[in-house]
A and B are shown apart, each in its own frame.
Chain A
């Protein structure tokens, strides 16, 4: 049977010799072993999703993964091709992120997505740039990521300065809408890299944006501390009308509880960064977590794709609220899938060209859509103002994405039933 088949191969010119058979088998094996990034197999795209799935940022990395987990169902409804995932863990370490990215690419990843944290993302960007592998950043705000002239890195997430700019814009809109403007604000921030750099920018740029208030005190604190009573006492003694925080999750919970105990009576709490909108925060603080205004990158619940996303998400994760981690990770997968469809191949060069020409209008995050400038940055990402209400985060600004009217000034802690 096998002899007959070999005879029927016309270009071999009759029965092959054993050497010819071995040579043919060798070529076939070599072809199969060539990394898929050279595009010999165009049917699928192997996407390496590299996030901090363990270590201090482990919960966030797992949260980001939920956005990727939802993507296949949503992309199918949008007519976009499915991609194949390879999952990696940075362990919240820069060196591990670099090593894991190299291994994932060596193992066949044709496009990388990651990594939530700016330091880890920078390390993976260097690896992808040196190996000519497309890297779509889901979350990372460090500006220089898209300022170094990388040709294989794209970011659909605001940079630090964009977050600061939008925070000021949304604050002004909030004050104008409600007619309640604080005259003084205290900046309470974590003293880690993220907290210090963001708070430094907020403090320095407030006068340039002609904000109607004065930042009367800037209070750095250790986010991994045990006791925040002194921090809250200091906020209280500053006599500021509002507090603006840059925190992490556990400190946000502890600070809120301490504010209630110390009977802090202020116009409101604003937050830029994680912590104050997360499910765990709202669960731990209950009614006292209500009315906090978060000035953050978010999603637009009024967009058609958002409704599909929300439906699929609540079916798969009924106990979770949709947040930044989910939507921006989903959109990174969406960019990859859209590029695969338009490139018609998983060839790296073809994907590179396709991603650069991305023009997605039917996305889920706030703003007009996804496209990239010559630096690989989406310049049109817009942040939102969201407010905590009974365990949910409701968009209050910008107006086109809003689903609720703001409660500002916030309801005093001692009048919440």
Chain B
């Protein structure tokens, strides 16, 4: 193993991992507060990708610039979805919630197939094939920009929960549902707001992902699975855990691909998942219940 290859693989893995982390953040936000496992996670992110693609093709907006627009639009979508549909099954057994969100996911894939077709589509951004060279280390510009975008979006989300009154109220709901009701918080609205925040994070992640991947409807299940692996490693419900899990997965994939075999990288992600489940089932930054 030479140090240059190690440095190249590590930096690239961390950059990819940050984007993975952002993509898993939405899942963690929703589960951490509402205790609903969003099986339509990947599908919502793919909708964010398609939305950013449309903005680029019709209005010439760079995917990075379309991050706030995608976030706002998908916030609205998530808010309405929670307030009108998901809230009705939130008191039922978990199975019903899983089935509802799986059904929503299937409908989204079908709608995307109907509108966009099954073929992969990309955006022709001017810096798509450019790279930065730091000595012998070469980093693709889209990957660097995507990682910076992921850091910015994740920081804003974390700051929102930490410093705003609404963020604090949401955390209060997550900590003590009954207590939040007793002190007069409108839990129903806060839940809808939280689901909206989760889908907004997915919209932002989708727009950023468009820099790295071609979009097609069938991408979604892969993204959902990846997000589950990340949040289980990081700790379901922990925002910092999601970011840490993403970076660990990105790093392990890059190192396994570079120093073992590229075809082994997915196996390494799952090996990491098994280790965490065996020795720290609540996740690296999760709280034991």
Inter-chain contact A261/B130, CB cutoff 8 Å: yes
Inter-chain contact B222/A226, CB cutoff 8 Å: yes
CB within 8 Å of A: which B124-139 residues: 128-131, 133, 138
The answer to whether the Cβ of B166 comes within 8 Å of any Cβ in the partner chain is no
Q: Would you call the interface of chain A mostly helix, strand, loop, or mixed? A: helix
A-facing mask of B244-267, CB < 8 A → 1, else 0? 000000000110011001110110
The answer to whether the Cβ of A262 comes within 8 Å of any Cβ in the partner chain is yes
Inter-chain contact A227/B131, CB cutoff 8 Å: no
B-facing mask of A258-276, CB < 8 A → 1, else 0? 1011110000000000000
The answer to whether the Cβ of B213 comes within 8 Å of any Cβ in the partner chain is yes
Inter-chain contact B131/A233, CB cutoff 8 Å: no
The answer to whether the Cβ of A112 comes within 8 Å of any Cβ in the partner chain is no
Inter-chain contact B263/A191, CB cutoff 8 Å: yes
A262 to B137, CA, bound (A): 9
A228 to B214, CA, bound (A): 13
**Cβ distance B125 to chain A, nearest Cβ, rounded Å:** 12
Q: Which residues of the other chain, A, contact B265 by a CB distance below 8 angstroms?
A: 222, 225, 230
- Answer whether A220 and B130 are a contact pair too, CB < 8 Å, given A237-B5, A262-B140, A263-B138: no
The answer to whether the Cβ of B28 comes within 8 Å of any Cβ in the partner chain is no
**Cβ distance A279 to chain B, nearest Cβ, rounded Å:** 12
Inter-chain contact A233/B5, CB cutoff 8 Å: yes
Inter-chain contact A257/B129, CB cutoff 8 Å: yes
Q: Which residues of the other chain, A, contact B5 by a CB distance below 8 angstroms?
A: 233, 237
The answer to whether the Cβ of B212 comes within 8 Å of any Cβ in the partner chain is yes
- Which residue of B118, B129, B214 contacts A260 across the interface (Cβ within 8 Å)? B129
Inter-chain contact B129/A230, CB cutoff 8 Å: no
CB closest chain-B residue, reference A284: B122
Q: Which residues of the other chain, A, contact B143 by a CB distance below 8 angstroms?
A: 229
Q: Which residues of the other chain, B, contact A226 by a CB distance below 8 angstroms?
A: 212-213, 219, 222
The answer to whether the Cβ of B282 comes within 8 Å of any Cβ in the partner chain is no
B-facing mask of A231-268, CB < 8 A → 1, else 0? 10110010000000000001001100110111100000
- Answer whether A261 and B119 are a contact pair too, CB < 8 Å, given A230-B253, A233-B5: no
Which stretch in B8-16, B70-78, B151-159 binds the other chain?
Answer: B8-16
- Answer whether A263 and B12 are a contact pair too, CB < 8 Å, given A59-B119, A222-B266, A226-B213: no
A262 to B136, CA, bound (A): 10
**Cβ distance B11 to chain A, nearest Cβ, rounded Å:** 11
Inter-chain contact A230/B262, CB cutoff 8 Å: yes
Q: Which residues of the other chain, B, contact A277 by a CB distance below 8 angstroms?
A: none
**Cβ distance B213 to chain A, nearest Cβ, rounded Å:** 6
- Answer whether A229 and B266 are a contact pair too, CB < 8 Å, given A257-B128, A261-B129: no
Q: Which residues of the other chain, A, contact B257 by a CB distance below 8 angstroms?
A: 230-231, 233-234
A127 to B131, CA, bound (A): 54
The answer to whether the Cβ of B120 comes within 8 Å of any Cβ in the partner chain is yes
- Which residue of A220, A250, A263 contacts B262 across the interface (Cβ within 8 Å)? A220
**Cβ distance B15 to chain A, nearest Cβ, rounded Å:** 9
B-facing mask of A127-159, CB < 8 A → 1, else 0? 000000000000000000000000000000000
A280 to B212, CA, bound (A): 18
Q: Which residues of the other chain, B, contact A263 by a CB distance below 8 angstroms?
A: 131, 133, 138
Inter-chain contact A227/B122, CB cutoff 8 Å: no
**Cβ distance B139 to chain A, nearest Cβ, rounded Å:** 8
A58 to B253, CA, bound (A): 30
CB within 8 Å of B: which A43-99 residues: 58-59
Inter-chain contact B258/A261, CB cutoff 8 Å: no
- Answer whether A222 and B214 are a contact pair too, CB < 8 Å, given A250-B120, A261-B140, A263-B133: no
Q: Which residues of the other chain, B, contact A261 by a CB distance below 8 angstroms?
A: 129-131, 138, 140-142
CB closest chain-A residue, reference B143: A229
**Cβ distance A225 to chain B, nearest Cβ, rounded Å:** 8
Q: Which residues of the other chain, B, contact A254 by a CB distance below 8 angstroms?
A: 214
The answer to whether the Cβ of A173 comes within 8 Å of any Cβ in the partner chain is no
**Cβ distance B194 to chain A, nearest Cβ, rounded Å:** 28
- Which residue of B8, B118, B212 contacts A233 across the interface (Cβ within 8 Å)? B8
**Cβ distance A58 to chain B, nearest Cβ, rounded Å:** 7
Inter-chain contact B129/A219, CB cutoff 8 Å: no
A229 to B141, CA, bound (A): 12
- Answer whether A222 and B140 are a contact pair too, CB < 8 Å, given A227-B16, A230-B12, A288-B129: no
The answer to whether the Cβ of A221 comes within 8 Å of any Cβ in the partner chain is yes
A237 to B143, CA, bound (A): 20
A-facing mask of B35-61, CB < 8 A → 1, else 0? 000000000000000000000000000
**Cβ distance B171 to chain A, nearest Cβ, rounded Å:** 33
A196 to B147, CA, bound (A): 34
- Answer whether A262 and B131 are a contact pair too, CB < 8 Å, given A226-B213, A227-B16, A227-B212: yes
Inter-chain contact A221/B131, CB cutoff 8 Å: no
CB closest chain-A residue, reference B19: A227
Inter-chain contact A58/B118, CB cutoff 8 Å: yes
Instruction: Jot down 18 A-B pairs with beta carbons below 8 A, ordered by A.
Output: A220-B262, A221-B262, A227-B16, A229-B16, A229-B140, A229-B143, A230-B257, A230-B258, A230-B265, A231-B257, A233-B8, A233-B12, A233-B258, A261-B130, A261-B140, A263-B133, A280-B119, A288-B129
Given contacts A225-B262, A230-B254, 9 further A-B contacts (CB under 8 A): A58-B118, A59-B119, A191-B263, A225-B265, A229-B16, A230-B9, A233-B5, A233-B8, A263-B131
